[in-house]
Amino acid sequence: MKKELEKIQMGEYLDFDEKKIEKIMTIKLNYLNGEISLEEAKREMKESFNQVTAQEFAICEQYLQKYGISDDVLAERMDEILEIFEGLLVSNKLILALGHPIRTYLDEVDALRKVLNQMREMLKKNFIKNQWAEAYDRLTEIDIHFARKQNQLYPALESKGFDKPSKVMWTLENNIKDMIKKAKKYLESDQDEEFLKLQDEVIEMVEDMMVKEEEILYPTSMDLLSDEDFVKMRKGDDEIGYCLIESPPPYGREAEKDVGAHSNNELLKDLADVFRKHGMLNMTSNREVLDVSQGKLSLEQINLIFKHLQVDLSYVDENDIVKFYSDTKHRVFPRSPGVIGREVQNCHPRESVGTVEEIIRAFRAGEHDEAEFWLEIGGKFIYIIYNAVRDEKGNFRGVLEMMQDVTRIRSLTGNQRLLSWNDKKENIKDIEEHPGQENRYGITKQTVIGDVIKEYPFVKEFLFQISPKFSKLNNPIVFKTMASIATMEMISERGGFEVQDLIDKIVVEIDKRK
């Protein structure tokens, strides 16, 4: 076993006692392979050690697959494995500066615990639907917490050889999200008894995940990752947003800089470096013209085209590495710079990896060139298509994913032969001459709330005034995430309004302010 221990990549970043790790591994494997009982495993562990650190626990998890323990088994039996270490697991309390990504995760855990405590108190009292609805509005923000881990923290850990969070914790996170959705459906359909029966399980699942984060994930992350890794991570965190907390301050060397502008400049610089490396250009300006397949474009123009496409693009190369995604303002699912350079298998929950690998296999083998999917999420209809990317000789060069919210497109009927602006800047005179067709500001149920607020910033404050349920928009990062995807129809449902009623209120407010 010692020879095997020397091979693990994450061991390059941690100091550990090989004999201790071997002993821990022997006990765990004996239990998982059915050679000893849970009680025997616990007794042997307590007789052998006074304590086991989070880092030692994590490095043993990474080794398990070398001995035939699959990620499926790990996910299903994680609670049993943790029970073996009952009373032995120790981790130092992390004291970190505001803005440090791990401090941000810990602050979110504190905020989530407050929601759980409120839920525990409500279980002792008479059922009041509105109170539970408000609690679940807050609890649902855990999706943002998970999304940032999956797109930011897990890729950084993978780069150090620690891929178990991506492969195991992601599945547990999806189980939590599914349970919350199930409970929320019961609540919305007035199945009060079924809803209340689920609450202990919901609370336990969320609390259990947060304990795993605090005791194992975050301490191990602090040991594996460098400060430079965390500075880089912080730059991408805003892309995803934050759960139940205000946007944290910048962290590290870039603390005083505009992170967004810096990221865009870095993208242009990185692309320019790639072009130079392959002898495609010798340029000192991103305005220098390049010969593309059909035309001539500068690097700046290429970047602008990608940013303004009405479809999200992601490109994975022939080695299954994510190389690019388009930074569009209407992005369907969250993305952050942490995904670049990551194996595509680690960018999906474990239960979806088989489908991803089958698509790549069929494309690589030349059996197929296209795969399409569609799904309904939160009132939106999402269309996804994967295309095999091949060079002029037919060699497989990767996969292009294209994703689009086609909700409005699906609703179109008849013909549109006359000029009609879709940027919400309607011809007011024309609308006034045809009353009853549409309000003068072009606001419909499919209008994205971010577009309205961009044009009329005071509408954001107005929403706070008419319903406390809109208060989460006060978080700038949550607002940034929601603003690009939430339609008036979705916003009205969240606020408890009929969509036309909410539109009418906003129109009246705009009229008053103009």
DSSP 86-133: TTTEE-PPP---TT-HHHHHHHHHHHHHHHHHHHHHHHTS---HHHHH
Determine the pLDDT at residue 514: 67
The domain in which residue 41 lies consists of 2-90
Do 160 and 241 fall into the same domain? yes
Determine the pLDDT at residue 119: 95
When divided into structural domains, the chain yields a total of 4
Collapse the DSSP code of 344 into the 3-class scheme (helix H, G, I; strand E, B; otherwise coil) and give the result: helix
Comparing 167 with 315, the larger pLDDT belongs to: 315
Read off the pLDDT of each residue in 257-286 and give the average, rounded to a whole number.
51
Phi, psi of 327, deg, nearest 5: -95, 70
- Domain boundary pick from 90, 121, 144: 90
Determine the pLDDT at residue 512: 79
| Residue 222 covered by a domain | yes
C-alpha 106/C-alpha 137 separation (Å) is 20
| Residue 365 covered by a domain | yes
Do 142 and 236 fall into the same domain? yes
| Residue 293 covered by a domain | no
Determine the pLDDT at residue 265: 52
Determine the pLDDT at residue 489: 85
Do 85 and 112 fall into the same domain? no
With bands split at pLDDT 50, 70 and 90, how would you rate the model's confidence at 20? confident
Contacts of 253 (CB under 8 A, 6+ apart): 231
Determine the pLDDT at residue 262: 47
- Domain boundary pick from 227, 254, 281: 254
> What's the distance, CA 214 to chain centroid?
19
Do 199 and 140 fall into the same domain? yes
Question: What is the chain's length?
Answer: 514
Percent of the chain predicted with pLDDT > 90? 32
C-alpha 360/C-alpha 358 separation (Å) is 5
Read off the pLDDT of each residue in 313-340 and give the average, rounded to a whole number.
80
Do 106 and 247 fall into the same domain? yes
The CATH number that applies at residue 332 is 3.30.450.20
With bands split at pLDDT 50, 70 and 90, how would you rate the model's confidence at 397? very high
Percent of the chain predicted with pLDDT > 70? 82
Do 212 and 130 fall into the same domain? yes
The DSSP secondary-structure symbol of 254 reads G
Q: Are 424 and 455 a contacting pair, CB within 8 Å?
A: yes
The CATH number that applies at residue 125 is 1.20.120.520
Task: Establish how many alpha carbons lie within 13 A of residue 464's alpha carbon, considering only the half-sphere containing its beta carbon.
Answer: 11
C-alpha 383/C-alpha 367 separation (Å) is 22
Do 56 and 105 fall into the same domain? no
| Residue 96 covered by a domain | no
- Torsion sign (Cα): 415, 421, 427, 431: positive
C-alpha 169/C-alpha 397 separation (Å) is 31
C-alpha 110/C-alpha 140 separation (Å) is 15
| Residue 306 covered by a domain | no
The DSSP secondary-structure symbol of 343 reads B
How many Å is the Cα radius of gyration of the chain? Answer: 26
Tokens at residue 131, please? 């109170």
Determine the pLDDT at residue 107: 96
C-alpha 322/C-alpha 314 separation (Å) is 8
Query: Does the pTM exceed 0.75?
Result: no
C-alpha 264/C-alpha 245 separation (Å) is 26
Do 438 and 487 fall into the same domain? yes
| Residue 169 covered by a domain | yes
Do 114 and 229 fall into the same domain? yes
Q: Position of tokens 């239960």?
A: 351
Do 86 and 105 fall into the same domain? no
Tokens at residue 158, please? 């993978």
Q: Are 453 and 476 a contacting pair, CB within 8 Å?
A: no
| Residue 395 covered by a domain | yes
Do 119 and 249 fall into the same domain? yes
Model confidence over 54-101: pLDDT tens digits?
A: 888 888 887 777 787 887 788 788 888 888 988 888 877 788 999 999
| Residue 308 covered by a domain | no
Alpha carbon of 35 to those of 30, 47, 84, 488: distances in Å?
Answer: 5, 18, 14, 59
- Domain boundary pick from 37, 60, 90: 90
Do 395 and 489 fall into the same domain? no
